[in-house]
Amino acid sequence: MKFVKKFFKIVLIAFLAMLVAMGGLVLFMNSANGDKGDNKTVLASVDENAPKALVVYQPSISKNSDKVAKAIAQGLNEKGYEVTLNYPGKHLDTSLSEYDLVVFGSVVYAGQPAKALADYMATVKAYAPRVALFSVGGLDQSPELDALEKLVVGSSVESKTKFTTKNQDMVKEAKALGLSLASR
Ligand SMILES: Cc1cc2nc3c(=O)[nH]c(=O)nc-3n(C[C@H](O)[C@H](O)[C@H](O)COP(=O)(O)O)c2cc1C
């Protein structure tokens, strides 16, 4: 009897610990995926007729997606683009036709793109003529990019790039992507 009681006590503690861990994971993912508000920065160009690019990205906890987004923006800017960077959310326009190029970037949890980004993209009524996508995560597989691509209506996605956090050249490659997008 004593053994049975002890057994049920252990099972109950294990169950409660699992509930707390799952609750913590859900809270963490909701917070990481949520709307982080307006964070507009502009990399200006000396040429007032410069082509315009917008980089919309979900920031991540260790700042990996920020580093990638900023490196892409820097590559574009070095090739003459005026680049606006911002987080996705209700503060952004739903018409992006004033831009020549829009780059969307996401963190990834459980194969899904950030909810704030997917929700925003679902509200966009007019995309720029050129659209590129990137994601930053720990795995090589990128179902999140396919999910984002499906949200782009009326414009075609010209590139989908997964940056993995284990890749030490991630930032260099992101800058190269920016330079290459500007040269197409
Ligand atoms: C619960 C959890 C699930 C994750 N799922 C994926 C995944 O499905 N694919 C992937 O590439 N990375 C996955 N990751 C890795 C994150 O996308 C990665 O940590 C991301 O870069 C977050 O940015 P940070 O490292 O700058 O915080 C996961 C991470 C956590 C914590």
Ligand 1, atom 1: nearest CA belongs to which residue?
Answer: 109
Low-confidence ranges of the chain (pLDDT < 50): none
pLDDT at 36: 95
Query: What are the tens digits of pLDDT across the range 129-145?
Result: 999 999 999 999 999 99
Query: What are the tens digits of pLDDT across the range 105-130?
Result: 999 999 999 999 999 999 999 999 99
For the CA atoms of 107, 113, 119, 120, the dihedral, rounded to the nearest 10 degrees, stands at 50
pTM higher than 0.85 for the full model? yes
Q: Which residue among 62, 70, 106, 107 has the greatest number of ligand 1 atoms within 8 angstroms of its CB, and so is best to mutate?
A: 107
Q: Is the dihedral of CA 113, 119, 120, 124 positive or negative?
A: positive
Distance 184 CA to ligand 1 centre (A): 31
Segments making up each domain of the chain, as ranges: 1-33, 41-183
Q: Does the CB atom of residue 80 touch ligand 1 within 6 A? A: no
pLDDT at 109: 95
The listed CATH number (3.40.50.360, 3.40.50.20, 3.90.105.10, 3.40.50.2300) that belongs to domain 41-183: 3.40.50.360
pLDDT at 117: 98
Distance 137 CA to ligand 1 centre (A): 5
| φ, ψ of residue 106 in degrees (nearest 5) | -135, 150
Q: Which atom of ligand 1 is nearest to the CA of 142?
A: 11
Distance 156 CA to ligand 1 centre (A): 27
